[in-house]
Amino acid sequence: MKQVELTALFARVQAGELAPEEAARIAQGFEDLGFAKVDHDRRQRTGFPEVIYGAGKTPGQIVAIAKNLRDRGAVNILCTRVSPQAAARLSDELGAELHELARAAVVAPTPIEGKGRVLVLCAGTSDLPVADEAALTAALMGAAVERVSDAGVAGIHRLIAHENSLHEANVIVCVAGMEGALPSVVAGLTDRPIIAVPTSVGYGTSFGGVAALLAMLNSCGSGVSVVNIDNGFGAGYQAALINRLAL
Amino acid sequence: MKQVELTALFARVQAGELAPEEAARIAQGFEDLGFAKVDHDRRQRTGFPEVIYGAGKTPGQIVAIAKNLRDRGAVNILCTRVSPQAAARLSDELGAELHELARAAVVAPTPIEGKGRVLVLCAGTSDLPVADEAALTAALMGAAVERVSDAGVAGIHRLIAHENSLHEANVIVCVAGMEGALPSVVAGLTDRPIIAVPTSVGYGTSFGGVAALLAMLNSCGSGVSVVNIDNGFGAGYQAALINRLAL
Amino acid sequence: MKQVELTALFARVQAGELAPEEAARIAQGFEDLGFAKVDHDRRQRTGFPEVIYGAGKTPGQIVAIAKNLRDRGAVNILCTRVSPQAAARLSDELGAELHELARAAVVAPTPIEGKGRVLVLCAGTSDLPVADEAALTAALMGAAVERVSDAGVAGIHRLIAHENSLHEANVIVCVAGMEGALPSVVAGLTDRPIIAVPTSVGYGTSFGGVAALLAMLNSCGSGVSVVNIDNGFGAGYQAALINRLAL
Amino acid sequence: MKQVELTALFARVQAGELAPEEAARIAQGFEDLGFAKVDHDRRQRTGFPEVIYGAGKTPGQIVAIAKNLRDRGAVNILCTRVSPQAAARLSDELGAELHELARAAVVAPTPIEGKGRVLVLCAGTSDLPVADEAALTAALMGAAVERVSDAGVAGIHRLIAHENSLHEANVIVCVAGMEGALPSVVAGLTDRPIIAVPTSVGYGTSFGGVAALLAMLNSCGSGVSVVNIDNGFGAGYQAALINRLAL
Amino acid sequence: MKQVELTALFARVQAGELAPEEAARIAQGFEDLGFAKVDHDRRQRTGFPEVIYGAGKTPGQIVAIAKNLRDRGAVNILCTRVSPQAAARLSDELGAELHELARAAVVAPTPIEGKGRVLVLCAGTSDLPVADEAALTAALMGAAVERVSDAGVAGIHRLIAHENSLHEANVIVCVAGMEGALPSVVAGLTDRPIIAVPTSVGYGTSFGGVAALLAMLNSCGSGVSVVNIDNGFGAGYQAALINRLAL
Amino acid sequence: MKQVELTALFARVQAGELAPEEAARIAQGFEDLGFAKVDHDRRQRTGFPEVIYGAGKTPGQIVAIAKNLRDRGAVNILCTRVSPQAAARLSDELGAELHELARAAVVAPTPIEGKGRVLVLCAGTSDLPVADEAALTAALMGAAVERVSDAGVAGIHRLIAHENSLHEANVIVCVAGMEGALPSVVAGLTDRPIIAVPTSVGYGTSFGGVAALLAMLNSCGSGVSVVNIDNGFGAGYQAALINRLAL
Amino acid sequence: MKQVELTALFARVQAGELAPEEAARIAQGFEDLGFAKVDHDRRQRTGFPEVIYGAGKTPGQIVAIAKNLRDRGAVNILCTRVSPQAAARLSDELGAELHELARAAVVAPTPIEGKGRVLVLCAGTSDLPVADEAALTAALMGAAVERVSDAGVAGIHRLIAHENSLHEANVIVCVAGMEGALPSVVAGLTDRPIIAVPTSVGYGTSFGGVAALLAMLNSCGSGVSVVNIDNGFGAGYQAALINRLAL
Amino acid sequence: MKQVELTALFARVQAGELAPEEAARIAQGFEDLGFAKVDHDRRQRTGFPEVIYGAGKTPGQIVAIAKNLRDRGAVNILCTRVSPQAAARLSDELGAELHELARAAVVAPTPIEGKGRVLVLCAGTSDLPVADEAALTAALMGAAVERVSDAGVAGIHRLIAHENSLHEANVIVCVAGMEGALPSVVAGLTDRPIIAVPTSVGYGTSFGGVAALLAMLNSCGSGVSVVNIDNGFGAGYQAALINRLAL
């Protein structure tokens, strides 16, 4: 919290508009729920509210954190990797907007005008959930998002048909499983930064996405970096950060 | 090669300024040296000349490719992972500028004014060669580069002392070996995109950089993507692409 | 069993207070239940009764071992990794105290005054079960335990806010999943021995905790040792041994 | 050895043209040199003489086996993975033709008219030694061999320029290191069987060719099978077998 | 689509036989269903219709793609790795022929005369599902298929009893789990190309088929190449391509 | 640096005893040599001077850091993993005491009375270098060190003969390669904390110490934690920290 | 089948005692059930009937093979890794004797006098299923079997209490999970051959038994060999072979 | 040392034949050289003197241990994995018999009549060093050893030609690299126990012998156990133990 904000806070206490306990809580920047410290300051620091990673949290914990953020004024609160149980409760109790394929929910959904251009490129149908998570994340962070799906390297002409899109985006999120070759080919067709997302799509020696990950890390194309397997959120988040630089 | 450029080319042939064979070679965009196809078109497409990856090429091959690029007008031609033998020949025969620690050489070195800001952050002394490669690459690609070294997480106050730099850069290249924790900590201190570079520094269970790579891929911080172990070039290249978006 | 204890045992037999068969059983130090040899001597050797590792044992076996220990006078008998079925039976049949999150049960729970100070530090909400197991174990072994949770490296100021705790403990148990960076940062802030516990929290390239384990083994901080993935018991146990040295 | 050949052999002994010991040796089909059993029968069975795998054999052993084969009438005897020492001795003592890049030697080199068409496609300059081994093997086995090099996926137009070759070959050997994406792209452009050869070209997470191997095994393209890392010989050999089927 | 076909298409439009929209769709070669681009052109290019890989697709998606292919005239449309749910719907809604063991379905099944000879050799009873997938695929692609099962190396005489079959086939698909030794032994008995398929049959250090895969990649026999673990489809497909060369 | 020390520093400047520049350098706590920031404050914080990890540093860098520490008053400055070249220069230029087997050097060696008791237990002769590094480190940190070598589990009576030592130490460093079983056996014989050090001694499936590491992490004995492969320094350091707690 | 047996077979046909078809079946040595070739000859060759590995076979297949063997006169037919469903059918339809813990069934159970001595040594309670499978196998193969359980290395005195058994056995099967240290300690106490069986007991870095396997392969004790993880059958089988040599 | 031997020792001291210090040394059973405890008692316990594992020991240490054993009366002292330097010193100073291929030396070589039969079977020429180590070890331990080399599975008739040997041996040591299939085939041809030795022969995905190791652990043949990669000594040692049981 910056000096000027702190001063305003004290002024409100002095004016009797705010109880000292509440003011102290706000000044601290986060609120301790016992099982989690909710970071209210984050929105001010980054422009985005805290994102709730749902895996390993109970539905009750997720709802409580989301409610706490919403009650303090946050909108478009993203909850990722939420179980069907958690999604149902978020919808029932907080009116969250659900994104089933992406396993995500948005609490206090609010229209936001997308700016710039993030292209989310997807190799196959099975990769769609990860691509959806990336696209949703980037959109919530303020990016205009274009989608191109089913553009795997085994039918290279389908990709080349979208060559214009490869040049018009500020940054490209490239999602692929199996042999993970798509980012290498894309890197040869554009000079935009590419964030590659390996997916766990495949069997046998795909080793749950490791084959695709290794291919992407060893890409002979330039301008490619990589996130964790199935980490659509991470790719969409970084893409939005990069896209924002270009505005 | 675009239509207008092709037309100009034909005009020069018509005017007798250019032999048809030479014009055909230029129109093709690359030149075949037998052991390599040199990509002259690339500079026009991306603004950067082709980079020569030196590993697995003989000194003679590297010199020939670099000479070919230079003779066609390219400047600041980067040769990475060059052996001492190759470096010596590049220096002797082409007057290349050598960067020993980064194992790199620059043929036809030409001053270039760095713009924007790329921060290259380095965890320990042993990670310096990789950081140097990243910094050199970004600089040749037109970025202004700031360096902060020896800022590993085991002495966190040394990093916090540079917090301003973390906010002023457009993009951060974060180089670390051993447990590879630096990007996670940095991601908590800034909202700039971070390109993490694991290095092979360490022993035993560092497995040649795998420990650092896994840590970076699993970073709990947002906005982090990763390149191959010791791939300073790849990180610097993508950082320059991102930095250019912000200009 | 020491000489003086054996002598007392024989005296009780001579006095007709103890049947020879029972005395022989006691002298042997353990009792054979067929599926397990219960170690009664252990409490005398170490001050702690035998701990029952529940995984791979049937509920009936766990109950029988715990009952046998209790009937011979042991208190605060810890059963780890007990299934819900085993926990229910331990509660129903032996009145055990259940610790659901830690997947543990304590048979014959008895108040014990904690001494010294063991700090159990936890990176994220999902790591809580492992941290709970560590804290429970250390407490049952006689240590005073302090808890600090949700102190992951991506928000370093939350950790620094607890810097005093890092100095006041005799030993620190540091629990983290994902990139496992917490022990490295803590090691730079204190000179207390740190026992790092990697957890299986994460996905994709966390490989069930391997990423965190490798980070901890490669920590650039000094004074860090590591236990098996999710082994809260082992960390709590060693921490209690170390804490006892400081009393 | 077939019945009719055995009969002829006995006839020569009867006629006094051949000593019984020598005839027995020929009937056995192989000759025991102590350190190796040389398989003379193989040429009759398969049309190709035995190939000498040079790794792990002393120069003396290689020379002795090759000489034994030559003295019994074999030509175009291929020795793979020969050390420079072994190559020198094969050249000096047996007049072998050396193929330095492929690390191979041919004893009793004899012109052979290549038939059909095997295409050996190579992603990068560093993959050339493996491609050379494949091409040499296929040629010695009777195939007409076409070479296309430096056709990696990061510059996909270079590959598409050779699309005709992809259709004219009976079978394609596809050699690539790093991310090993070439076979997937090629499989989308042709319906010819593709034998993919991963190479150990790369660093860091290429893990000596494992990244390329996994990509090839997980190819989303149809009609691709894979051989061991750097096994140009194996790919060339199988390609020749397949090519022969098409004659 | 070739020039002559395009011309015919325009003629039909001119003649009023075809709406321009429909003609455009046909000219494009594929049809976009949103979740997938169905490749109608493929049958013309390769002689085989597109194969539907069922894993990771919903039953509804599989049915829709298959129906789309069938409605455009394709027959013997192979759907692999279909769940029981998808199989039931394909049977109910499209009258597909189900191959339970092979986890496959064939839509619009149509008799086809097998030509040439593909031998599908199987080491043990547990490997049968993978062998069935290979045999079904090759048969649908037009090959005459011979089956030999239960011919593992631990009873080598059972294999030798089928030696004739090893010579009469154009190509051999060799399916084995556990130690994966069968292709090596077979390679010593025949000079036909062998496509080895490792299966996930085994436990412990079979690591889900990795042991068999490594054995096959390291085969000391010549003429062996390998596909992904349990990839009966891939082996059958390539075998059919090779078999076709021999017709 | 604490308040009182800072005050004293300013007093010395006021008194003209110290130049302001020098005072500023001292107040900062570390000194920047360009390639390293030497941490002079560390000795005050922890009682031990900074340790110089020699791997990946040039001899010149090591000498410069050691000299800088010595010139500011540090004694018993430990340099680990020093190459023979670095050791020679440390000896020649700074009079360092060399410990060849442990690959260590001590600059400004100064007698120090060992207190408490650290037992360094070693399984085999080949493990001695790692054990030496551990013992040297613990001794320089102020611990009295007892050594027991060649006490591997294949001759368990040799270990039992030292059972008294297992009880008299405050903490035990247990060094073993190959199957790494020693800590498990020791844990059954004592209730002292055990720091296990896997070594890279072995071949084949020892995988450079991984087999020993895994055994130690999976020890069925209680009270065992583990450090990186061959990390004698880390074990000795933590043992000294623990030993100090017991004084 | 030996010459004398074949002659007797023909004699029985000549005498009209046996139909030619049945005689041919017997002469072939195995019977083809379609999904399996039942090896009747095996009992004559080795003294043991064929063992039925149940994993990956349907209950119906297992019952059919067992029935076929029994109907041809085999007794003590061992079925390993049978599912509860298969076990129930074997019991219901063939009166098989079930061994639940060992997941085995014995069809046509027949008393057999054990000879010699095989010791099956087991580290912990969770390892009992694997030890049971080993003991049952060895007993069915004619060995007298001694059992010692719960003798893990963390309480070495429990093992030493059984030192006599270690000397009296002809061969020792040594079953252990977790760190797998038991065979090393046993090898130091006896000169009998030891067959070590790693089990999948453990969690985290036990990697499903890999930690124990590696420890056993790297045993510093002599006279130890290893079988696959959880392969009690294989150990018991080889132990019976070795025990038979000593009779 | 047994009671009766100890009594005799004391008698010699009483008689003045032995100094008390020397008697104490003998009673202890081993002699402490500082860097190693030489186990003189071992020969009495097992019939074989201690074997010196040369890897990781200096030539001086090896010579000292061997000399110590020889001076106390041991013969046929086996030193394994000796470097050329160590071998030279053992030969020069102790007159050791060198076995270059097996990297072994025998100090105080003494004729010994081999009994029983151990068959050492070797797949290829490159596996000979490991087979030699196995054969030498078994022979020194008193076994008659038969050798069959170059009998890999790719030419199965060469193996079948030696079928008699497979039945006449008491135990078979089976040495193979690459795909390691030999033990599986041999297990189908004999009922003798087989000790499989994977070798590091191969490249690429042989991973230094891991492919062969996995194949051997997953052998579908019965009666096979496995030792560490390249551990000819261990296999020969266990084979000799088993062979001795059959005498």
User: How close is the nearest chain F Cα to the Cα of B155, in Å?
Assistant: 9
Q: Six-digit token pair at D52?
A: 């000498």
pLDDT tens digits, one per residue of E188-214? 899 899 999 999 999 999 999 999 999
Q: For residue F198, give the DSSP letter.
A: E
Distance CA D224, CA D216 (A): 8
Is residue G52 within 8 angstroms of chain H, CB to CB? no
Q: Do chains F and B touch (3 or more CB pairs under 8 A)?
A: yes
Using the 8-state DSSP alphabet, how is residue H204 labeled?
G
Q: Specify which residues B98 forms β-bridges with.
A: B105
Lowest mean pLDDT among C215-229, E46-60, H123-137: E46-60
For every residue of E11-35, DSSP letters joined together read: HHHHTTSS-HHHHHHHHHSEEE-SS
Is F155–H39 a contact, with Cβ atoms under 8 angstroms apart? Answer: yes
Select from B35, B52, H204 the least CA-distant residue to D128: B35
- The rounded distance, in Å, linking the Cα atoms of C119 and B246 is 45
State mean pLDDT over C43-53.
79
C-beta separation of A112 from A239 below 8 A: no
Taking alpha carbons only, the member of F89, F92, F93, F62 closest to residue F77 is: F62
Q: Does E196 touch chain H (CB under 8 A)?
A: no
- DSSP H or E stretch at residue H131: helix H128-140
B19 class by beta-carbon count within 10 Å (0-12 exposed, 13-18 middle, 19+ buried): exposed
In the numeric block, the tokens 């032999």 are attached to B19
Shortest distance, CA F177 to any CA of chain H (angstroms): 11
Q: Provide the pLDDT for residue E207.
A: 96
Subunit contact G179:F220, Cβ cutoff 8 A: yes
CA distance G75 to G93: 16
Q: Where are any strands of DSSP class E within chain G?
A: 30-32, 37-39, 52-53, 77-80, 97-99, 104-107, 115-122, 143-148, 171-176, 194-198, 224-226
Pick F231's closest partner by Cβ from B126, B201, B204: B204
Q: Is residue A25 over pLDDT 70?
A: no
Residue type, E23: A
What's the confidence (pLDDT) of residue H24? 67
Residue C43 confidence (pLDDT): 72
Beta-carbon contacts of C83 under 8 Å, excluding residues fewer than 6 positions away, are C54, C59
The two three-digit tokens of residue A170, written as one number: 């500020």
List pLDDT tens digits, range H99-154: 999 999 999 999 999 999 999 999 988 899 999 999 999 999 999 999 998 888 88
Q: What integer pLDDT is reported at residue H150 of this predicted model?
A: 82
Q: What does the alpha-carbon distance between residue A128 and residue A150 come to, in Å, rounded to a whole number?
A: 9
Per-residue confidence (pLDDT) for residue B39, from 0 to 100: 76
The more confident residue out of F209 and D151 is F209
Nearest to B223 among A45, A193, A237 (CB): A237
> Which two tokens mark G95?
């009166």
Question: How many whole angstroms separate alpha carbon B43 and alpha carbon H234?
Answer: 62
CA distance H35 to chain F (A): 6
pLDDT digits (tens, 9 = 90+) for H143-197: 999 999 888 888 887 888 888 999 999 999 999 999 999 999 999 899 899 999 9
* ipTM entry: 0.91
Q: G181 and F178: CB-CB below 8 Å? A: no
Q: Give the whole-angstrom CA distance, residue G193 versus residue H227.
A: 12
pLDDT in tens, F106-139: 999 999 999 999 999 999 888 999 999 999 999 9
Looking at residue G178, what is its pLDDT?
94
D88/C41: higher pLDDT = D88
Show Cβ contacts of residue E237 under 8 Å, excluding neighbours closer than 6 positions: D222, D223, E51, E137, E138, E141
**Contact yes or no for B150/B177 (Cβ under 8 A):** no
Is D9 within 8 Å of chain H by CB? no
Backbone angles phi, psi at H173, to 5 degrees: -95, 125
Average pLDDT over residues C9-34: 75
Maximum distance among all Cα pairs of chain G, rounded to whole angstroms: 68
Whole-number average pLDDT of chain E = 90
List pLDDT tens digits, range F26-81: 766 777 777 777 777 777 667 778 899 998 888 998 999 999 999 988 999 999 99
For F129, the 3-state DSSP assignment is helix
For residue E176, give the chain H residue with the closest CA: H220
Taking the Cβ of residue H7 and every Cβ of chain G, the question of whether any pair is shorter than 8 Å is answered with no
Q: Is any Cβ of chain E less than 8 angstroms from the Cβ of A155?
A: yes
Question: What is the DSSP secondary structure assignment for residue H154, as one 8-state letter?
Answer: G
Q: Are D150 and B35 an interchain contact pair (Cβ–Cβ within 8 Å)?
A: yes
Residue B233 binned pLDDT confidence (cut-offs 50, 70, 90): very high
Nearest CA to B203 out of E91, F81, D52 is that of F81
Pairing of strands F30-32, E37-39: unpaired
Residue A73 CB neighbour total at 10 angstroms: 10
Confidence at H224, pLDDT banded by 50, 70, 90: very high
Chain G: give the shortest CA distance to residue C157, in Å.
31
Q: Check residue G107 and give left, alpha or beta (phi > 0: left; psi -120 to 50: alpha).
A: beta
DSSP label at residue D96: P
Q: From the list D30, D36, D228, which residue is nearest H205 (CB)?
A: D228
Q: Kindly state the DSSP code that residue G196 receives in the 8-state scheme.
A: E
Over residues E50-77, the mean pLDDT reads 91
CA distance A14 to chain B (A): 32
pLDDT of residue B25: 67
The CA-atom distances, in angstroms, between D28 and each of B150, D21, D70, H163 are 71, 11, 18, 17
Burial A58-67 (b: 16+ CB within 10 A, else e): ebebbbbbbb
Q: Which residues of E touch G213 (CB under 8 A)?
A: 204-205
Q: How does DSSP classify residue B31?
A: E
Q: pLDDT tens, B137-167?
A: 999 999 999 999 888 888 887 888 888 999 9
Considering only alpha carbons, which residue of chain D is nearest residue A187? Answer: D154
Q: Which chain H residue's Cα is nearest to G191?
A: H46
CA proximity to D1, closest of D38, D64, D32, D43: D43
Rounded Cα distance between B119 and B104, Å, is 20
* Interface mutation vs chain B, best among C190, C200, C218, most B CBs within 10 Å: C218
Q: What per-residue confidence (pLDDT) applies to H143?
A: 97
Please determine, for residue D24, whether its predicted confidence score (pLDDT) is greater than 70. no
Question: For chain A, how are helix, strand and coil distributed in percent, rounded to 5?
Answer: 45, 20, 35
Contact A122, A150 (CB under 8 A): yes
Q: What is the pLDDT of residues F88-99, one digit of tens each?
A: 999 999 999 999
Closest residue in G to C198 (Cα) is G204
pLDDT of B196 reads 98
pLDDT (0 to 100) of residue E19: 79
pLDDT classification of C3: cutoffs 50, 70, 90: low
Count of other CB atoms within 10 angstroms of residue C76: 18
State the Cα–Cα distance between residues D194 and D183, nearest whole angstrom.
7
What does the pLDDT read at residue C6?
A: 67
* Any B CB within 8 A of F229 CB: yes
The rounded distance, in Å, linking the Cα atoms of A197 and B213 is 15
Query: What single-letter amino acid sits at G90?
Result: L
Determine which of B238-247, E67-76, H40-49, H238-247 has the lowest per-residue pLDDT on average. H40-49
Interface contact flag, D215 A219, Cβ < 8 Å: no
> CB distance from F158 to chain H under 8 Å?
yes
Chain A residues lying within 8 Å of E210, measured CB to CB: 205
Taking an 8 Å cut-off on Cβ atoms, the answer to whether C226 and F224 are in contact is no
Average pLDDT in chain B: 90
Choose, out of H228, H230, H237, the residue to mutate when testing the contact with F (most F CBs < 10 Å): H228
- C214–B221 CB contact, under 8 Å: no
**Distance (Å, whole) CA E223 – CA D245:** 13
pLDDT lower than 50: segments of chain G: none
What confidence tier does H25 reach under pLDDT thresholds 50, 70, 90? Answer: low
Chain C within 8 Å of G3 (Cβ-Cβ)?
A: no
Max Cα–Cα distance, chain B, nearest Å: 68
Looking at the partner chain, which of H30, H56, H213 has a beta carbon nearest the beta carbon of F126?
Answer: H56
* From H32-41, H78-87, H143-152, H202-211, the region with the lowest mean pLDDT: H32-41
Residue E4 — φ and ψ, nearest 5°? Answer: -65, -35
CB-nearest partner of H222 from G47, G218, G237: G237
> In whole angstroms, what is the distance from residue F215 CA to residue G219 CA?
11
Percentage of chain H exceeding pLDDT 90: 66
B5, B6, B29, B72 from B15: Cα distances, Å: 15, 14, 21, 21
Reported as a single tens digit per residue, the pLDDT across D59-76 is 999 999 999 999 988 999
User: Does A201 lie at the interface with E, CB-CB under 8 angstroms?
Assistant: yes
Residues C210, B207: C-beta atoms closer than 8 Å: no
Residues 6+ apart with CB under 8 A from C132: C99, C101, C102, C104, C232
Question: For the segment D124-146, what is each residue's pLDDT rounded down to a tens digit?
Answer: 888 999 999 999 999 999 999 99
Decide if pLDDT at C50 tops 90: no
Q: Check pLDDT > 80 for residue H77.
A: yes
Which chain D residue shows the shortest CA-CA distance from E117?
D245
Count chain D–chain H contacts defined by CB atoms under 8 A: 35
Q: Is there a contact between A239 and A173 (Cβ–Cβ < 8 Å)?
A: yes
What local confidence, expressed as pLDDT, does residue F200 receive? 96
Helix, strand or coil, per DSSP, at residue F55: coil
Backbone angles phi, psi at D24, to 5 degrees: -60, -40
- CA nearest B82: which of B66, B108, B104, B60? B104
**Residue recorded with tokens 């520094």:** B201
Q: How far is Cα C57 from Cα C36, in angstroms, rounded to an integer?
A: 10
Q: How close F123 comes to chain G (CA, Å)? A: 10
Band the pLDDT of E155: cuts 50, 70, 90. confident
Shortest distance between the Cα of E212 and any Cα of chain D, in A, equals: 13
Contact check, Cβ <8 Å, D126/B57: yes
- pLDDT band, residue C96 (cuts 50/70/90): very high
Contact assessment for residue D186 and residue D221, using Cβ atoms and an 8 Å cutoff: yes
Band (E34; pLDDT cuts 50, 70, 90) = confident
pLDDT tens track for F167-210: 999 999 999 999 999 999 999 899 899 999 999 999 999 999 99
Q: Which residues of H touch G228 (CB under 8 A)?
A: 217-218
pLDDT at D121 over 90: yes
Lowest mean pLDDT among B55-64, B232-241, D24-33: D24-33
* Integer CA distances (angstroms), D154 to A220, D122, G241, in order: 6, 13, 59
State yes or no: pLDDT of B236 exceeds 90.
yes
CA torsion, ordered F146, F150, F156, F161, to nearest 10 deg: -40
Higher pLDDT, E13 or F114: F114
What are residue E146's DSSP bridge partners? E119
pLDDT of residue B48: 80
Share above pLDDT 70 across residues of chain E, in percent, rounded to a whole number: 94
pTM score above 0.80: yes
Question: Who wins on pLDDT, C156 or C209?
Answer: C209
How far is CA H176 from each of CA C83, C106, F92, H155, H212, rounded to the nearest angstrom?
A: 45, 53, 52, 14, 7
